[in-house]
Structure 1
Amino acid sequence: MARSADRFSFETSWGPRAADGGRTEFRLWAPSAPSVELAIGDAAGKPAGFLPMEKDGGGWWLISTDKVKPGGAYGFRLESGLVVPDPASRRQFGDVHSLSVLVDPTAFEWKTADWNGRPWEETVFYELHTGTFSPSGDFEGIVEKLDYLKDTGITAIELLPVAQFGGRRGWGYDGVLLYCPHEAYGGSEGLKRLVDAAHERGLMVFLDAVYNHFGPDGNYIGAYAPEFFHQEIHTPWGAAIAYDEQPVRDFMIDNALFWLEEYRIDGLRLDAIDSIKDTTDTPLVTELAERVRAAFPGRHVHITTEDDRNITWHIERENGQPTHVSAEWNDDFHHTAHVLATHEEEGYYADYSRRSVAQMAKALATGFVFQGDHSAHRDKDVGVSSAHLPPTAFVNFLQNHDQIGNRAFGDRLSDLSSRRVVECLQAILLLSPQIPLLFMGEEYGDTHPFCFFTDFDGELGAAVREGRRSEFKKFAAFRDEDARALIPDPNAETTFEASKLDWSMVGRPNYRRRLAMVKQLLDKRLRLVVPLLKDPLPGNCGEYHVSDDTLTFVVAWHLKEGSTLHLFANLDDEPWAIPSDVVTGDLTCGELLHAYPKGSDDILRTGILPGPSVVFRLESQKLITGKA
């Protein structure tokens, strides 16, 4: 790492390195390539000259030269004549097929060089897609909304992947140049300005990182380094990445350190780590997390993961502190909330019952729903016990890019359920001690779709379109071919445009009211709940009671300073008379945090909770009789 008072860079094992005498060393790992040449670009970004590179004993092709200056274009020519970009390119002259550009990473002068982040328990995520969040669809468009996000109560924006992918429209999970912020969003300088501006306002910035595959358009690594992949090991996206090769491992771990150091990113979300097929004794996630924690001892740097196995080894605590990963995205919470709100039971929702809140209460109190239980949808036992972990080991959400965008028409929860149930669930999400995540527009109840979109053409575009539509054959509504034909074409620009937020909605009465409610909830969370979540937070701190014949439950979390946070929830249409064997003690003691709708706190006087409604109370005593 290279640091001055206000400039940061990270020297990666791949990519250019500054050398003596104004020279630059260019490097490419291609152990089986017969020859590699450095391609030097002209002012138009076209190859204009070539210099032979030398191979060392580790499979690296090297050259040190002063023929490429900062701002100049370069690439590599293979024996076949194919010219490819640098896989560790920090900037592209054009798209993923063009030459790369040599940049000076220390050129950016940071205004917030002394920023050290925020503690994990203060995190309130706001997940957003750069291209659809603002009218301009770039990093600058996010900057213009930072004051709005801060005023709402957001503390961390989480960007869907920004590494350059094929085309100008896409979710980002098909990235092929993992060190290169997409030029369509504003490139390297634009991302640094965004992070700097966020830090000026006390906001963290997280980045979604994809280490399980590369996209199908513009990934040239296999052309010169087939050793980068295990063709015999398959993932949902093709051949597995060969993490038993040290240069491959370094490529990804350096990438994580690069974002955190050179871009001052506050944390990463590691996408679908269950699809990282690592054959070594030390999982990639373990080594990556250990390297990150060792590299930034003086900063609050956080890692989250997505993993459908319901495992816990990576989110375990030692002396109350995360040993590796700060938290796991908890799909179980989302799935049970979604089924309760919509009554949908197809696909993976078949594992969740619309008539039982026991699964939601279990997730809130103990982490996962499936903790070694049998999943009928997957036809196997799933998960391990998670009750010993603190609530902050989990990120909960009602919506995210996957859970909206992987629906046929990208419809949001606000279009699928009643307003009152959604607002009950939002209160549960934002005041429970787990780390909450909102998807862009959720704070005001946006009803516009967020569809799956790409920017491919030709055979690849047709394959993506037809593959997308065929995914829905197993759903009753799309067994008919004519019905599937109505599913939006991912490659159509209209699909992308329809997915953009409509900011005029914020000024309309119903949406303004929802936004005010979310602001109020997040203010209460910051003032009253967050102080009780500071590490070390005890595990086994949650317990719950569920009514057998209604959609009602009580959850209690025993937190710091002898305080107990109680949630009383009735998601049924009928009122619930809380049985005497459920609650012990005086319901009028302690502090009322929140009652929705107004008047629901009459539970203190009547012992009856109207439906649907939610009440949060902070007590100094235990009120419920035990675990269900």
Structure 2
Amino acid sequence: MMRWGPEPLPNGGTRFRLWAPDAEGVTLELDGIDEVAMTRGEDGWYALDRAEGPGTRYRFRVGDQAVPDPASRVQSGGVHGWSVVPETAFEWQHSSWRGHAFHELVILECHAGTLGGFAGVMDRLPAIAATGITAIELMPVGAFGGTRGWGYDGVLPYAVQEDYGSPADLRRLVDAAHGLGISVFLDVVYNHFGPDGNYLGAYAADFFDAAVHTPWGGAVAVERAPVARFFVDNALMWLRDYRIDGLRFDAVHAIRNPGFLDAMAAEIRAALPDRPVHLVLENEENDAARLRDDAFDAQWNDDFHNVMHVLLTGESNAYYADFADRPAERLARCLAEGFIYQGEGSANHDGAVRGTPSAHLAPTRFVAFLQNHDQVGNRALGERLLSLTDTAKLRAATALLLLCPQIPLLFMGEEEGSATPFLFFTDFHDELADAVREGRRKEFAKFDAFADPQARERIPDPNATSTFAASIPQPGQDAAEWRVFYTELLTLRRDRIVPQLGGAQSVGAQALGEAAVVARWRLGDGTTLGLAIDLADEPATLPGGADPIFTCGDRFVAWIEA
């Protein structure tokens, strides 16, 4: 089976390949060295063996257009520039690392660009480890158009974004994290490509299926072998070559092919049997079937975030409308059963049913969060919860997040009380920049606060450098207090809860009013973990055991009883 990207040959040379079924011919251009026609083989693959090795700059010419290798491992000059044959050697310092079991994880989501690239993230690792966080999750690092962006508009998913650092810099970050006992996750995007620098459609139209609609156009045609291979090999590259511990697959509902997901997971598991590799889904469809066995470890639980956001802020616009009615009852269902929507109609989805039953799943099959890049950054002004709710309520919600058996995920800066917004930023130009700017403002026209066109002018321009600069997280004024708070909770989770999470099962949860819930789980040693939270403006007396293990004023209590 043909594979994507440059392949090192035993003699030190390189085999170059490109799938271009629509092209009548493809030429390999080697910068300053040679231009030579490639040989067409079966199924639209072109290939050529050359003596040139690592460091060689190359690209392909299809007709009149010069294009980078879509599976380029290194770019020089951005996504429109030259691809580079990569160096593969790296001296790992912590090659004995075997990672964490999934139930041991507390994950911190990070955007490498706002933290100073791979080196900047690496500098923060000791403080992250000291807090008790056991994993970081990098937002996508595949190459995208421009010098700044979230990464979800990537077009060369095998190449690291030049502005973040080199492949060796990413390996150094992973190696340093492992040396501190921190697992590394990577967010990968296999459902679409960005608008700037995606040349695939020009010579491989069959890469996409125009008949299957997604928000970004035709779906990727993963039912075709070369397309499936492109994404599966990308996943394996991160896990093998960079020793990444886990992948988070972005918006898999837009791939429109659950069979591909299962096959990909099975191949990854078979290829890497000797160490823990964690595979996590983002899936708007709340498809419990994808979590029925060991193919995928868990799913991001947007339901937890959405109902907690309603309880903390009172907001009920857009998708929050699905959670505004009886929010305490909905939170109780979330804590006891995982998904809130398990086949009910959703107003945000035009009444269509969403989700499947999930009560049979272990609580560790769900990744819970109060904030992440989507839920902060997709707000018009990028506000964090510290700007939207009472601090006492937020502390109680944080205690619930960090002590409940679902796997907690934090957003960078959260652990140090950052009030810095996280805005939507890009680096597009000309008409594309105009379209993104106006599309962003149009998106928020349905919100009461931005119904007036003049109000929408307050929404930061995604392409302005100031929008990116404003998103660089800064510690809050009471950062030290927040660090102590998180460290205390995570120490308690590590010592009292994590060792007993194997086999943990819900024994029920109940609403205690409009904004209060009590939930219990039977832990692996037969004891019961109880958590109670009250987010009402005037909290009532909470139930609890005789000997609580943690309290947060009169808004939260946790206990363990025989």
Distance 2:441 2:322 in 1: 24
Structure 2 counterpart of 1:332, one-letter code: D
Distance 1:347 1:110 in 2: 47
Is the partner of 1:286 in helix, strand or coil?
helix
In structure 2, relative to structure 1, the CA distance for the partners of 1:62 and 1:531 (3 Å cut) is same
For 1:594, the equivalent position in structure 2 comes to 550
Q: Give, in angstroms, the shift of residue 234 of structure 1.
A: 1.8
- 1:375 paired with 2:346, answer yes
For 1:3, the equivalent position in structure 2 comes to none
Structure 1 counterpart of 2:83, one-letter code: S
Q: Give 1:574's match in structure 2, choosing from 533, 538, 550.
A: 538
**8 Å contact from structure 1 (residues 19, 25) kept in 2:** yes
1:362-511 paired onto structure 2 within 5 Å: 362-378=333-349, 379-503=351-475, 505=476, 508=477, 510-511=478-479
Q: Give, in angstroms, the shift of residue 577 of structure 1.
A: 4.6
Structure 1 counterpart of 2:26, one-letter code: V
Q: Give, in angstroms, the shift of residue 405 of structure 1.
A: 0.3
Structure 2 counterpart of 1:298, one-letter code: D
- 1:336 paired with 2:315, answer no
Distance 1:553 1:222 in 2: 51
1:67-216 paired onto structure 2 within 5 Å: 68-79=52-63, 81-105=64-88, 107-133=89-115, 137-216=116-195
**8 Å contact from structure 2 (residues 509, 518) kept in 1:** yes
The more displaced of 250-259 and 110-119 is 110-119
For 2:511, the equivalent position in structure 1 comes to 546
Q: Give 2:40's match in structure 1, choosing from 23, 31, 55.
A: 55
Distance 2:326 2:275 in 1: 45
Distance 2:524 2:442 in 1: 50
Distance 1:214 1:92 in 2: 17
| Structure 1 segments (4+ residues) deviating >6 Å | none
Give the aligned length.
Answer: 561
- 1:65 paired with 2:50, answer yes
Is the partner of 2:533 in helix, strand or coil?
strand
In structure 2, relative to structure 1, the CA distance for the partners of 1:376 and 1:260 (3 Å cut) is same
For 2:561, the equivalent position in structure 1 comes to 619
Distance 1:558 1:166 in 2: 49
Distance 1:32 1:183 in 2: 30
For 2:289, the equivalent position in structure 1 comes to 313
The more displaced of 235-244 and 155-164 is 235-244
- 1:257 paired with 2:236, answer yes
Larger Rg: 1
For 1:230, the equivalent position in structure 2 comes to 209
Q: Give 2:13's match in structure 1, choosing from 1, 23, 31.
A: 23
**8 Å contact from structure 2 (residues 332, 519) kept in 1:** yes
Q: Give, in angstroms, the shift of residue 20 of structure 1.
A: 4.0
Is the partner of 1:92 in helix, strand or coil?
strand
**8 Å contact from structure 1 (residues 139, 194) kept in 2:** yes
Q: Give 2:495's match in structure 1, choosing from 520, 524, 527.
A: 527
**8 Å contact from structure 2 (residues 313, 389) kept in 1:** yes
Structure 1 counterpart of 2:259, one-letter code: P
Is the partner of 1:250 in helix, strand or coil?
helix
- Cα RMSD of the aligned pairs, angstroms, is 1.6
Distance 2:426 2:8 in 1: 36
- Stretches of structure 1 that go unaligned for 5 or more consecutive residues are 1-10, 43-47, 318-322, 598-609, 621-628
Q: Give, in angstroms, the shift of residue 324 of structure 1.
A: 0.8
**8 Å contact from structure 1 (residues 180, 187) kept in 2:** no
Distance 1:587 1:454 in 2: 50
Q: Give, in angstroms, the shift of residue 462 of structure 1.
A: 0.6
For 2:317, the equivalent position in structure 1 comes to 346
Task: Provide, for residues 299-323 of structure 1, a one-character-per-residue CA deviation record: whole Å limited to 9, x for no partner.
Answer: 0110111111111111114xxxxx2
> What TM-score, normalized to structure 2?
0.97
Q: Give, in angstroms, the shift of residue 573 of structure 1.
A: 3.3
Task: Provide, for residues 95-135 of structure 1, a one-character-per-residue CA deviation record: whole Å limited to 9, x for no partner.
Answer: 00011001121x211111121111111100000101112xx
Q: Give 2:197's match in structure 1, choosing from 204, 218, 232.
A: 218
Distance 1:414 1:201 in 2: 29
In structure 2, relative to structure 1, the CA distance for the partners of 1:342 and 1:142 (3 Å cut) is same
**8 Å contact from structure 1 (residues 339, 354) kept in 2:** no
For 1:327, the equivalent position in structure 2 comes to 298
Q: Give, in angstroms, the shift of residue 576 of structure 1.
A: 2.6
- Stretches of structure 2 that go unaligned for 5 or more consecutive residues are none
Structure 2 counterpart of 1:104, one-letter code: E
Q: Give, in angstroms, the shift of residue 514 of structure 1.
A: 1.6
**8 Å contact from structure 2 (residues 2, 45) kept in 1:** no
Q: Give, in angstroms, the shift of residue 377 of structure 1.
A: 2.5
Task: Provide, for residues 160-190 of structure 1, a one-character-per-residue CA deviation record: whole Å limited to 9, x for no partner.
Answer: 0000000010000001111101110002111
Q: Give, in angstroms, the shift of residue 245 of structure 1.
A: 1.1
Structure 1 counterpart of 2:545, one-letter code: L
Distance 1:98 1:364 in 2: 49
**8 Å contact from structure 1 (residues 198, 204) kept in 2:** yes
The more displaced of 357-366 and 374-383 is 374-383
Q: Give, in angstroms, the shift of residue 436 of structure 1.
A: 0.0
Is the partner of 2:172 in helix, strand or coil?
helix
Q: Give, in angstroms, the shift of residue 154 of structure 1.
A: 0.7
In structure 2, relative to structure 1, the CA distance for the partners of 1:19 and 1:564 (3 Å cut) is same
Q: Give, in angstroms, the shift of residue 550 of structure 1.
A: 4.1
**8 Å contact from structure 1 (residues 343, 354) kept in 2:** no
Distance 1:553 1:188 in 2: 47
Distance 2:247 2:147 in 1: 23
Q: Give, in angstroms, the shift of residue 575 of structure 1.
A: 4.4
Is the partner of 2:192 in helix, strand or coil?
coil
Distance 1:478 1:587 in 2: 46
Q: Give, in angstroms, the shift of residue 298 of structure 1.
A: 1.3
Q: Give, in angstroms, the shift of residue 13 of structure 1.
A: 1.2
For 1:563, the equivalent position in structure 2 comes to 527
Structure 2 counterpart of 1:340, one-letter code: L
Distance 1:386 1:199 in 2: 33
The more displaced of 144-153 and 283-292 is 283-292
